[in-house]
Amino acid sequence: MRWTPGGQSGDVEDRRGQSYGGGFRGGPASIGIILVLLVLSLLTGRNLLGLLGPGTIDSIESPSQTSGPPGDESPEEKRLFQFVDFVVGDAQNTWAQLLGNGYRRATVVVFRGATPTACGVGQSAMGPFYCPLDEKVYIDLGFYDELRRRFGAPGDFAQAYVITHEIGHHVQHLRGIDSQVRQLQERRPDVANQLSVRLELQADCLAGVWGHSTAQRNLLERGDVEEALNAAAAIGDDRIQSSTGRGVQPDSFTHGSSAERVQWFRRGLESGDVTSCDTFGRGTD
């Protein structure tokens, strides 16, 4: 992918220089209440932690050290951080053009190990994720090593696909799609996984819409599209379940099969049209 290191989007928060214990100094009752409110907040899309009295959440340990790159940052990691910053800024500029005043920029938090979020403690093992309660994307750059080594999906455009998929979740949040899905999942728990799959496939398609814009601006290089399609296939539910030695169980899918993820990313990539990303078109009554 064609890009120039050194620019700063202003959309990335660097917490790699922080250490975080991720524990609670309060008693079991306080922990239970906080966890319940976190779950309810995720289900309703509202920050219910505000119902707690002042000082209740001072039991959450705060990070030590200041934000910024760690002292042991390698040249390779520095370049990767700059690339993430470039993709985040470029993708959000694209969505600001597509959605106009309806777009509010998200923050992407880059961390190591663990970090506090409005959705609970974010950990590296969770992989990249979007928290609608604080409208932030969280990623440990070490995930890209796993993407390359475990999933066999190297390349900068594969890395860009991962980030822009999460920004796709932010677009869904701004349009109220995620809250509608959560409400429907509450009413229809029998199709909760199917609805989750449709939400994830739509985020794949929205990532493809951004990818289309990069092609129009001549930012793509030979092999970039294949890198992204390979990454989409590599993290399909069926591929992941097979790699763990378990049988493939479609009823337990939450993100979609490899073929579905490739299909929807390609649809956004080829059309560049948000309306082509209606994974809910046939709905669930």
Largest CA distance in the chain: 56
User: Which domain, by its residues, includes 135?
Assistant: 12-16+73-277
pLDDT, residue 24, reads 41
In the structure encoding, which two tokens stand for residue 59, read together?
């039991």
In a domain, 35, yes or no: no
In a domain, 59, yes or no: no
pLDDT, residue 248, reads 86
In a domain, 242, yes or no: yes
As averages over each run of 10 residues, the pLDDT of the chain (285 residues) reads 88 91 45 55 57 45 61 91 97 97 96 95 94 97 93 95 98 97 94 95 98 96 95 92 83 92 97 96 54
In a domain, 131, yes or no: yes
**Phi, psi (deg, nearest 5) at residue 265:** -65, -45
In a domain, 136, yes or no: yes
Which positions ≥6 away from 212 have C-beta within 8 Å? 268, 269, 270, 271, 272
Report how far residue 130's alpha carbon sits from residue 1's, in angstroms, rounded to the nearest whole number. Answer: 24
pLDDT, residue 48, reads 56
Please give the C-alpha separations between residue 21 and each of 18, 37, 61, in angstroms, as whole numbers: 10, 21, 7
C-alpha count within 13 angstroms, C-beta hemisphere, residue 257: 8
pLDDT, residue 66, reads 54
Angle 212-213-214 from CA coordinates, rounded to 5°: 90
Count: domains in the chain: 1
Please give the C-alpha separations between residue 207 and each of 149, 150, 265, in angstroms, as whole numbers: 23, 22, 7
In a domain, 98, yes or no: yes
pLDDT, residue 40, reads 60
In a domain, 215, yes or no: yes
In a domain, 67, yes or no: no
Among residues 108, 105, 111, which one has the least CA distance to residue 137? 108
**Which pTM does this prediction carry?**
0.83
